Chain A
């Protein structure tokens, strides 16, 4: 959220002035007068050549260039965007770039781009579209000469970062200058940035402050086929923006061929498809359904390794634990095969979103050579989540093993639970996975299910995220974006009405929307934070409980991956270490204890080692630290006071627990009688405390951060609270007249009576 608004919020008139000059083709614009080319001035004085390659772009007619012109400009010898001489590295990369499939159609692309406001571009993963298309656009759109930028959205943070890095290299510029990226809690752009890779969520947040996205001249929505929540919302939004801003160009890029749906949605926009460089992939099914898909995967990989010709293996599994476990087993089994001389060496690499980037890079290591020259081939096997399905390209994969599952987010407004569940993939997904085997040469895909199951059991397309998500924060964003009529907002796949109903209800209880559905002051404030509305409200109201410093830390901790590490082979030691930080009143307070210890002098002396010793994730804590800093800036900007109750005060922890209630009063459960089970308030779901909890005394009332949906339902990250606080802090939600008869209502009524009596006694005493 460190967007340099001041730098770019110039009015439109100045930029259009400049455009006129360029269109006049006057090469002789006084560079010295152009504030955006200030960095040229030092050098141009000494060079003073009238038409070097760096000046070429000034002769370009905006939206009228050809591939040939761009080609010449790219050839240098000076960088057309910076005027610096081009490195030899640039030249060697340029050669490779021109071999990419998209390059063949640069002219086709340009003519469609120039003639249409909206363009749908289809190119399979590996066609080079993510790195090349934005550069094609730069040479024709010339955003830097018009005080504009080109944005290219990515569904994943990692992709935004790594692609930006790659393109900076290709353009021979420093990352963060001409080419940058922006992801939640991290902005690596500068005043010279003309091409910005960003997560789709970030662009959406920017739109909240700039409803017309006026700083961009072209917006590219990449990987649109992934249909993330933010991409879907952006499409709905941009569909309206392009009507208001005729000068804005929009490119929708998709890796799959069902792009006609995008075309239809965007009023039959023209479509350009680049054939991927793919080979035939032979598909094998199992004759019988598998009893254990992980076991079957293991067997299949080993069989491929022992019997098939050279070529690397890609196995799709569902999550970190499953992947790590399988990596271990596979490595062991493969070593045995190697010892027996039945197969060559096998190098196994895991790949999933929360894996540190350095580890992720390892998947690109070359496969090991055969153990003996001419012996059975050595290979690598990558075990991945569906990251490797579309967004990542790994060369050398010839064999794909597909058990047919992935972890998917699900949300159902009726039980108000958002959870990650292992679910069967779609047919489209299965085809995408199979395609990964044909990148380098003809490959094979082993599907661990029957052909009949493929036809009958798999749905055609994966449900877009908007159908599987709680829309509370989306609704808040849309409100902030100025969308009044949420009911008729033109989404490509509108969710069930009940989903919107729940979102509005939640925001109303959080006092972010009034009964008319309009943003309240609190709602406007909450939308400033890139957080879930409940978290944002908790943070905003925390000064009332004298603990905004602590709640700020806690909010950051709840926004990052799990901070506790519990390795499979060392669970006991990890649990013992966790005990050191445990607070008897709950997990939130325990996390806070961890953070405070992490920030302590002892830990900061060697934080990495300290985290390792205490079974904590250094990365997660570091990230939390960064998130905290970003959130703190927003708080300061919004003039929210940062304060703490003195630690010696016995209300220190109580205040924090009360502040928790202010945000999470809709995620409360009450214990059933004296048993182990709890029942969630209002939704009446029977739940158990997650085994990871530190909550010592079984508290009658708890707030929880997460509902884990399995055949047994768990609530995770829980902290004990008091019924009095619920009635006191969230009286609207805890309006007893609205409760169904039952244990929860009776208990709350009892509490209400008690409060009343106490108050009367107090009044009597006075």
Chain B
């Protein structure tokens, strides 16, 4: 038994590590390192800062009462904390020492400090402000992006609606279609086309008026001129377009005044109902149930 016990003991025994004795080599290395550390010439700035700190500390530390002079003063009746002489307002602390090693005028140092403080304050407050601004800016950018995306979505949805209503609409001459005959939901598309045409025409008219005065240039533009003439038909026609564009269109203006997402939603709802088309799935479903489409809103498609 005793044997087994000792065996157990042996198994459990913790082999205590001897406290590390420094070998002579280690010691020599350590000492050498320490010496080098001491001998290493410190950078001047560091040295001076250290010096100044040491002097400051000394200047702020009162002499201890173990000082021989203090003991001699005690024998003359001095008590710790009292003052010399007979006047009541005698000094307790020695006068401080301020060194000056430049030629800065009186008040410059405090003026510098004041300016520095002001600047520091300003930098701080500006940093704070810019952080706030930064948050705003990010949010605004996000909104902008979102809106841009929705505008694109809207335009796509409108084009789809236009196509689904009338497959050949795009090939038609936009000027030939009275604007108000188009559903207000996508009327904007045709308006845009007309506006683009008008811009082109105005440009041509401007060039023509110029070329009429500069005959040498007129010939070169002849081809283009002809092309446009064919494309736009007569001036009378274009004036018709003008009238159509410039006519008041309350219905359209009302629609345009709505936020982008509302307009998009309106177009999307129209497409779902009439054409079983989902703007966000980008697909036309065979039946009214529209199985497979997560829902009639953008957020339903987010996941």
Contacts and interface: CB of A to CB of B under 8 A. Distances in A.
A506 B51 CA distance: 24
B104 to A, nearest CB: 6
Contacts of A117: none
Contact of B72 (A452, A516, A676): A516
B176 interface: no
A728 interface: no
Given A495-B91, A508-B69, A685-B58, A414 B63 contact: yes
B219 interface: no
A449 B84 contact: no
A459 to B, nearest CB: 10
Contacts of A293: 103-106
B286 interface: no
Contacts of B94: 411-414, 467, 495-496, 498-499
Contact of B90 (A290, A493, A677, A713): A493
Contact of B63 (A405, A423, A487, A501): A501
Interface stretch (A391-399, A599-607, A628-636, A704-712): A704-712
B234 interface: no
Given A504-B69, A686-B47, A421 B83 contact: no
B97 A502 contact: no
A422 B100 contact: yes
Interface string B97-115: 1111101111110110000
A421 B97 contact: yes
Contact of B73 (A468, A493, A504): A504
Interface in A646-672: 672
Interface in B202-216: none
A295 interface: yes
A712 B100 contact: no
Contacts of B96: 412
A414 B61 contact: yes
A494 to B, nearest CB: 3
Contact of A294 (B85, B87, B103): B103
Contacts of B107: 289, 449-450, 452-453, 456-457
B2 interface: no
A24 B59 CA distance: 64
Contacts of A675: 39, 41
Nearest to B76: A487
Interface string A500-518: 1111111011000101110
B98 to A, nearest CB: 7
Interface in A325-356: none
Contacts of B172: none
Interface string B59-70: 111110001111
B62 A712 contact: no
A62 B81 CA distance: 50
A369 to B, nearest CB: 34
Nearest to B103: A292
Contact of A414 (B62, B101, B103, B110): B62
A711 B101 contact: yes
A138 interface: no
Given A494-B84, A494-B85, A494-B90, A502 B63 contact: yes
B105 A710 contact: no
B131 to A, nearest CB: 34
A677 B47 CA distance: 9
Contacts of B106: 289-290, 293, 403-405, 424, 448-449, 453-454, 457-458
A739 interface: no
Contacts of B133: none
B163 to A, nearest CB: 76
Interface string B173-202: 000000000000000000000000000000
B105 A449 contact: yes
B-side interface mostly: loop
B51 A713 contact: yes
Contacts of B104: 289-293
Interface in B26-85: 35, 38-39, 41, 47-48, 50-52, 54-55, 58-63, 67-73, 75-78, 82-85
B95 interface: yes
A491 B85 contact: yes
Interface residues of B, number: 54
Given A495-B94, A675-B39, A403 B99 contact: no
Contacts of A517: 72-73, 75-76
A317 to B, nearest CB: 10
Contact of B84 (A292, A415, A495, A505): A495
A669 to B, nearest CB: 13
B5 interface: no
A315 to B, nearest CB: 14
A409 B94 CA distance: 14
Contacts of B76: 484-488, 517
B105 A410 contact: no
Contacts of A412: 59, 94-97
Nearest to A505: B69
Nearest to B36: A673
Contact of A421 (B39, B84, B100, B105): B100
Contacts of A423: 98, 100
B93 interface: yes
A36 interface: no
Given A289-B111, A675-B39, A711 B48 contact: yes
A468 B95 CA distance: 7
Contacts of B59: 412, 414-415
A287 B25 CA distance: 69
B227 to A, nearest CB: 74
A463 interface: yes
Interface in A450-501: 450, 452-454, 456-458, 463, 467-468, 484-501
A636 B269 CA distance: 126
Interface string A42-82: 00000000000000000000000000000000000000000
Output the residue of B41, B91, B93, B103 with the most chain A CB within 10 A.
B103
A710 B51 CA distance: 11
A133 B272 CA distance: 120
B92 interface: yes
Contacts of B55: 415, 685, 713
A458 B105 CA distance: 12
Nearest to A425: B106
A674 interface: yes
B86 interface: yes
A683 interface: yes
A114 B83 CA distance: 37
A284 to B, nearest CB: 14
A302 B71 CA distance: 59
B95 A463 contact: yes
B51 A686 contact: yes
Given A414-B61, A504-B69, A508-B69, A488 B86 contact: yes
A411 B107 CA distance: 24
A410 B95 contact: yes
28 contacts: A289-B111, A290-B104, A292-B105, A413-B63, A414-B58, A414-B59, A414-B61, A414-B62, A414-B94, A415-B97, A453-B107, A456-B107, A456-B110, A457-B110, A486-B76, A490-B85, A494-B83, A495-B91, A496-B91, A497-B82, A499-B94, A501-B69, A504-B73, A505-B69, A672-B38, A674-B39, A677-B47, A710-B99
Interface of B: 35, 38-39, 41, 47-48, 50-52, 54-55, 58-63, 67-73, 75-78, 82-87, 90-101, 103-108, 110-111
Q: 6 shortest A-B CB distances, which residue pairs?
A: A453-B107, A290-B105, A494-B85, A505-B69, A501-B69, A504-B69
Given A293-B106, A415-B97, A675-B39, 20 more contacts: A289-B108, A294-B103, A404-B105, A413-B94, A414-B58, A415-B59, A456-B110, A458-B106, A485-B77, A488-B84, A490-B85, A491-B87, A492-B87, A493-B87, A493-B91, A494-B86, A496-B83, A496-B95, A513-B72, A675-B41
